[in-house]
């Protein structure tokens, strides 16, 4: 290590040619290996290409011989590693130098350029990554991205990652655009059409595939039912919406890369109307019934909060900011909702929020308490609210009664009767006038 912090090694490899050393230079060089090792290779010059600073940027253009010389030096290092005593310090030093040589070789193959920070391609918005230590895999060429010496980009929409050198080879459009234009799931379970209908080609890149793996292995995506090559299908797994809705099954299945990204982006979107897709699911999944009742209660509480100054200042409704659809309707679900219902997480969190909301209306806020109801059928009991478990609500005027009173009474709602009578009186007054 020299004074400038650059790594220098003990043997030199010229980037253009190997020049013989003078006797004085040979004597001046410190020994890297013992005399025993030097004796084994005395018939030829050991040139490992280690005198350069392998982390500085190359100046000017490189010719093919530079890469070939580095490859020869790498092979020499590998041979020496096998010959040296195992776990010895000399072997460890040689391994470190082999790593440096390989980094230098990769640097020459992929020289860095002045790349823009943002690039737009096929609706992808690629942002240049600054991380040098995170290990990633290029979605285009399926090789490792060496952040230390390679420039790479990530799409801010679908998180597609690739080398800078692979940018112009991308053929897959951004999945987020599909989510924006077509926010719906495939609701058939693994709708396979067969390889013959795909002309024995990958459904995405059209590479020839077969189940025998020649020339490329055909891998089925459980979401689309189609077959893909190994470059488009990395055996990633995801929960399939169709299996959840029809079978209440949450086991992850193998999906292609594009399906994995699409499902990840769609995860929190409330696009599943269960009572239309599979209404029988509520008969067999008790947790769904519980969540539906909690959501209905929250919708009944919402009018209290939007007219209450204290509730607005406390921002109570923002407790559901990550599930905004819960304060808009009670029948739309996201795939994440169903996953959390199955695990029990949603029931716990929603019950806690429901308790907080009810406490504000019935105990903490006098304004909200004043908006309660008295049962007009029995005129007894405490103040009633529409979200109480023992009440019933008139669908026409939203009046609240004891459940037993309202169901047992065969007459119409007293409030509706008054409103009807009032309208008739107003019509009569208008005719007389």
Identify whether the C-beta of residue 226 lies closer than 8 Å to the C-beta of residue 193: yes
Q: What pLDDT score does 341 carry?
A: 96
Distance CA 167, CA 122 (A): 11
Tokens of residue 242, six digits: 């169709």
Q: What pLDDT score does 116 carry?
A: 72
Confidence of residue 133 (pLDDT cuts 50, 70, 90): low
pLDDT in tens, 288-297: 999 999 999 9
**Looking at per-residue confidence, does 63 or 285 come out higher?**
285
**Looking at per-residue confidence, does 9 or 229 come out higher?**
229
pLDDT in tens, 171-180: 888 888 777 7
Written as one string, the DSSP assignment of 364-410 is I-HHHHTT-B--TTT--SS-B-TT-TTEEE-TTT--EEEHHHHHH--
Q: What pLDDT score does 191 carry?
A: 92
Within 13 Å and on the Cβ side, how many CA atoms surround 88? 12
- What percentage of the chain exceeds 90 in pLDDT? 34
**Looking at per-residue confidence, does 15 or 212 come out higher?**
212
**Looking at per-residue confidence, does 137 or 356 come out higher?**
356
93, pLDDT greater than 70: yes
346, pLDDT greater than 90: yes
249, pLDDT greater than 80: yes
Give the chain's mean pLDDT. Answer: 80
**Looking at per-residue confidence, does 12 or 399 come out higher?**
399
Tell me which of 24-28, 150-154, 312-316 is least confident.
24-28
Q: What pLDDT score does 148 carry?
A: 72
Sign of CA dihedral 149, 153, 159, 161: negative
Mean pLDDT across the stretch 6-16? 37
- Of 348, 360, 242, 238, nearest to 306 by C-alpha is 360
Q: What pLDDT score does 361 carry?
A: 93
CATH 3.30.40.10 segments of the chain: 183-267
Q: What pLDDT score does 288 carry?
A: 95
Confidence of residue 114 (pLDDT cuts 50, 70, 90): low
Q: What pLDDT score does 282 carry?
A: 93
DSSP H or E segment with residue 163: strand 161-163
Confidence of residue 48 (pLDDT cuts 50, 70, 90): very low
Mean pLDDT across the stretch 253-275? 93
- Of 239, 335, 249, 333, nearest to 294 by C-alpha is 333
Q: What pLDDT score does 235 carry?
A: 93
1, pLDDT greater than 50: no
Of 3.30.40.10, 3.90.1150.10, 3.30.310.10, 3.30.420.40, the CATH number of 183-267 is 3.30.40.10
> What residues are paired with 384 via a beta bridge?
373
Distance CA 333, CA 324 (A): 11
Identify whether the C-beta of residue 76 lies closer than 8 Å to the C-beta of residue 46: yes
- Of 32, 37, 97, nearest to 70 by C-alpha is 97
Tell me which of 209-223, 274-288, 357-371, 408-422 is least confident.
408-422
Q: What pLDDT score does 183 carry?
A: 78
Q: What pLDDT score does 408 carry?
A: 54
61, pLDDT greater than 90: no
Please tell me whether residue 227 adopts helix, strand or coil conformation.
strand
100, pLDDT greater than 90: no
Residue 200: left if φ>0, alpha if ψ -120 to 50, beta else—which one? Answer: left
Tell me which of 121-130, 199-208, 262-271 is least confident.
121-130
302, pLDDT greater than 90: yes
- Angle at which helices 335-343 and 286-306 cross, to 10°: 120
pTM of the model: 0.65
Which range is most confident: 175-184, 338-347, 385-394?
A: 338-347
Geometric angle at alpha carbon 146, from 104 and 15, rounded to 5°: 10
Give the number of other Cβ atoms within 10 Å of residue 378's Cβ.
Answer: 14
pLDDT in tens, 312-343: 988 898 999 889 999 999 999 999 999 999 99
103, pLDDT greater than 80: no
Q: What pLDDT score does 270 carry?
A: 94
**Looking at per-residue confidence, does 33 or 76 come out higher?**
76
Q: What pLDDT score does 409 carry?
A: 53
Distance CA 1, CA 53 (A): 10
107, pLDDT greater than 70: no
Query: Cβ contacts of residue 267 below 8 Å, gap of 6+?
Result: 334, 335, 336
Q: What pLDDT score does 294 carry?
A: 95
């Amino acid at each position: 290590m020299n004074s400038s912090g650059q790594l220098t090694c003990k043997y030199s490899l010229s980037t253009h040619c190997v020049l013989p050393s003078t006797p004085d230079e040979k004597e001046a060089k410190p020994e890297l290996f013992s005399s025993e090792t030097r004796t084994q290779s005395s018939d030829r010059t050991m040139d490992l290409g280690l005198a350069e600073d392998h982390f500085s940027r190359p100046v000017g253009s490189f010719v093919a011989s530079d890469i070939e010389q580095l490859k020869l030096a790498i092979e020499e290092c590998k041979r020496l590693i096998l010959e040296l005593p195992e776990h010895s310090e000399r072997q460890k030093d040689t391994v470190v130098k082999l790593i440096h040589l390989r980094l230098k070789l990769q640097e020459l193959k992929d020289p860095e350029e002045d790349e823009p920070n943002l690039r737009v391609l096929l609706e992808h918005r690629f942002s240049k990554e600054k991380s040098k230590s995170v290990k990633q895999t290029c979605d285009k060429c399926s090789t490792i991205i060496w952040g230390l010496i390679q420039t790479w980009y990530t799409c801010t929409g679908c998180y597609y990652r690739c080398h800078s050198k692979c940018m112009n080879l991308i053929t897959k459009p951004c999945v987020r655009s599909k989510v924006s234009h077509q926010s719906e799931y495939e609701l058939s379970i693994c709708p396979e059409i067969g390889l013959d209908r795909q002309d024995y080609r990958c459904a995405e890149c059209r590479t020839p595939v077969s189940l025998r793996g020649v020339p490329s292995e055909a891998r089925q995506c459980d979401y689309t039912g189609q077959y893909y090559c190994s470059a488009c299908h990395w055996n990633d797994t995801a929960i399939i919406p169709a299996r959840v809705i029809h079978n209440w099954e949450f086991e992850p299945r193998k999906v292609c890369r594009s399906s994995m990204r699409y499902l990840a982006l769609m995860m929190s979107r409330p696009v599943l109307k269960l009572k239309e897709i599979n209404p029988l699911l509520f008969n067999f999944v008790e947790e769904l019934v519980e969540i539906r009742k909690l959501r209905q209660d929250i919708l009944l509480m919402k009018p209290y909060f939007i007219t209450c100054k204290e509730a607005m200042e406390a921002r109570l409704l923002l407790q559901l900011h990550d599930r905004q659809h819960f304060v808009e309707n009670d029948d739309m679900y996201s795939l994440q909702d169903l996953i959390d219902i199955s695990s029990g997480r949603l029931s716990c969190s929603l019950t806690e929020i429901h308790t907080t909301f009810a406490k504000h209306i019935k105990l903490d806020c006098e304004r909200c308490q004043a908006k309660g109801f008295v049962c007009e059928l029995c005129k007894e009991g405490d103040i009633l609210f529409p979200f109480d478990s023992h009440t019933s609500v008139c669908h026409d005027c939203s009046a609240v009664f004891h459940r037993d009173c309202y169901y047992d009474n065969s007459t119409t709602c007293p409030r509706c009767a008054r409103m009807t009578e009032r309208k008739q009186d107003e019509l009569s007054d208008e005719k007389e006038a």
